[in-house]
Structure 1
Amino acid sequence: MTSRQTAIPYLLILPSLVLAAAIIFWPVGSLIEIATNDVNRFGQLKGWNDFANFSALFANADFISALWRTGLWTVLVVGGALLVSVPVALILNEDFYGRDIARVILMLPWAVSLTMTAVVWRWSLNGESGMLNSALMGLGIISENVQWLASGDLAFAMQVLIGILVTVPFTTTIFLGGLSSIPQDLYEASALEGASRLQQFRHITLPLLKPFINIALVLNTIYVFNSFPIIWVTTQGGPANSTDILVTHLYKLGFRIGKLGEASAVSLIMLAILLVFTIIYVRLAMKEREA
């Protein structure tokens, strides 16, 4: 193959690469410029500030709390979604009457806007007339209304549960795709050898499902880390900023307080965290493939 023939594929994708680079690097460049300059509420740059925006962030207790809480939010939601989605996918992969209807019901929340889902949950968690209190009181589990969103710890716990519930449909879809790719001959052969269902899961299903688990892990981490609607619609980061994560803290800095420089610095920090996570994941994946 000549060098000209080798270069043709790269030339064909070059316009797309240039467009993608422009879409990605131009906003990042603008963020760097704003984050390293003094800037007023109207976005006018006032000059280099010697990284004062970053210094102000790390001196701000609310930012440090939001940073820690973002990590906890991401780990709990992604981990919980993975733990719930595996058994759900295993059940929906079985052949039973009404399986198609069950799959449709599971996918329905995924088709609804996340903001609308959060609005419904905010109404359900209302401390006076919410559906959750009414249901629990009807079952005799509680004797008086619970203010689900009035305290930071309880509100954050409920937000994590909502995050898990809305992440399960997408994750389960990925796992169903992985389960459908596993040859049934492996299960039949292992059954003839006397393997139990648990042994089949440990030695056949789980190893062959691992690439799909990795895909779900990466995509959900990026998605959940940047997730805005659930936290904002239910509590707007309150009470007293006790449920803020980085993306809601960024919104408050930029659009409520007008500190555009600090808001841009938060954006760059979030980008750096996700970039580090992606690099670590790619390196681990490459080592695993080489092994």
Structure 2
Amino acid sequence: MASRATAGRRARAVAPLALVLPSFLLAAFVVLWPLWDLTQLATHSVSRFGQLRGFVGLDTFLDVFADADFRAALLRTGVWTVGVVGGTLLVSLPVALVLNEDFYGRGLARVIVMLPWAVSLTMTAVVWRWALNGESGLLNSALQAAGLIDGNVVWLASAATAFPIQIVIGILVSIPFTVTVFLGGLASVPDDLYEAAALEGAGAWQRFTTITWPLLRPFVTIATVLNVIYVFNSFPIIWVLTQGGPANSTDILVTHLYKLAFRVGRMGEAAAVSLVMFAILLAFTALYVRMVLRREA
């Protein structure tokens, strides 16, 4: 009887593994095969058409880090990611708190907030490029009608104006997803907790700090990690508005590697940049999750 019970426990332990293993192997193949291919490109001399030649080891990575354009794009990617993700979280949280309240027209308000999510990011960037046109753009017309500017401003001709505008657009297009995540978290908070806190005399801010924020924190973590990954790799906004210009002054890593691969044909360096980006995201995700687990423990 003991042997049968032991066998039954082993079967129950193995059954979930057998269900997960095919998906795990498929995911590993999807991730590891491109990584292997990129590693081959980054450690070999590569022709313009992607043909491998001699082994060069880490020389390609050294060339990449010696490139001033790469270092500038790396720094700019950090500013872009922190600006967009931080701004998105700061704006999305109060929006989600408002939309979680019970008021007339709440359903319509939620639909309006979510609508930008249904539009192609490239199309959104095209519309913004038209609005920011230096001669006949909607923004110039509106500001002139309001008396805020005297003449047309070529918004995308300088990184001093183009890059902050791109960050603002990145925030706007990231809000719907983040608000959705926060609303899911707010919906999981029991109303009984708020009622009990109100009976104890807790104000709105006290209820937020003692109930809402602690229970919403895991969803903030999810939104932060997913937004960092998404924004770090975001291509359409920068490319459609300025293509990284003028003079590469608004390039981030993803647009920089695109130029390396498809404009100048330096496939090995483009692969090396891709691996650097993957390493940065992997390190960030591991560090952030570890910090969260340690804080919760």
Partner of 1:154: 161
Say what the alpha-carbon RMSD is for the aligned residues.
1.1
What one-letter code is carried by the residue in structure 2 that aligns with 1:13?
A: V
Partner of 2:118: 111
Normalised by the length of structure 1, the TM-score is: 0.97
CA–CA distance in 2 between the matches of 1:160 and 1:17?
36
Partner of 1:97: 104
What one-letter code is carried by the residue in structure 2 that aligns with 1:44?
A: Q
What one-letter code is carried by the residue in structure 1 that aligns with 2:217?
A: K
Partner of 1:174: 181
Out of 216, 225, 235, the residue aligned to residue 218 of structure 1 is 225
Farther-moved stretch of structure 1 (180-189 vs 60-69): 180-189
- Cα distance, 1:283 vs. partner? 1.4
Q: Does 1:269 align with 2:286?
A: no
What one-letter code is carried by the residue in structure 1 that aligns with 2:198?
A: A
1:229-283 CA-partner distances (Å, limit 9, x unpaired): 0000000000000000000000000000000000000000000001101111221
CA–CA distance in 1 between the matches of 2:179 and 2:24?
32
Partner of 1:250: 257
Partner of 2:77: 70
Out of 225, 233, 238, the residue aligned to residue 240 of structure 2 is 233
| Percentage of identical aligned residues | 65
1:150-208 CA-partner distances (Å, limit 9, x unpaired): 11121000000000000001000111111111111222222222222122222221111
What one-letter code is carried by the residue in structure 2 that aligns with 1:165?
A: L
Partner of 1:10: 17
CA–CA distance in 2 between the matches of 1:280 and 1:225?
16
- Cα distance, 1:7 vs. partner? 1.9
CA–CA distance in 2 between the matches of 1:99 and 1:9?
42
Normalised by the length of structure 2, the TM-score is: 0.95
Q: Secondary structure at the match of 1:38?
A: strand
Q: Does 1:53 align with 2:60?
A: yes
CA–CA distance in 2 between the matches of 1:6 and 1:102?
47
- Cα distance, 1:142 vs. partner? 1.7
- Cα distance, 1:9 vs. partner? 2.2
Out of 25, 32, 38, the residue aligned to residue 32 of structure 2 is 25
CA–CA distance in 1 between the matches of 2:258 and 2:281?
18
CA–CA distance in 2 between the matches of 1:189 and 1:128?
59
Partner of 2:194: 187
CA–CA distance in 1 between the matches of 2:23 and 2:241?
39
Q: Secondary structure at the match of 2:82?
A: helix
Q: Does 1:288 align with 2:295?
A: yes
CA–CA distance in 1 between the matches of 2:57 and 2:20?
40
Farther-moved stretch of structure 1 (186-195 vs 63-72): 186-195
1:38-57 CA-partner distances (Å, limit 9, x unpaired): 00111111111132211111
Q: Does 1:42 align with 2:80?
A: no
For structure 2, which runs of at least 5 residues remain unmatched after alignment?
A: 1-5
1:7-26 CA-partner distances (Å, limit 9, x unpaired): 23222322222221111111
- Residues 122-133 of structure 1: matches in 2 within 5 Å? 122-133=129-140
CA–CA distance in 1 between the matches of 2:172 and 2:73?
22
What one-letter code is carried by the residue in structure 2 that aligns with 1:172?
A: V
CA–CA distance in 1 between the matches of 2:186 and 2:202?
18
For structure 1, which runs of at least 5 residues remain unmatched after alignment?
A: none
CA–CA distance in 1 between the matches of 2:153 and 2:104?
39
CA–CA distance in 2 between the matches of 1:234 and 1:156?
10
- Cα distance, 1:86 vs. partner? 0.5
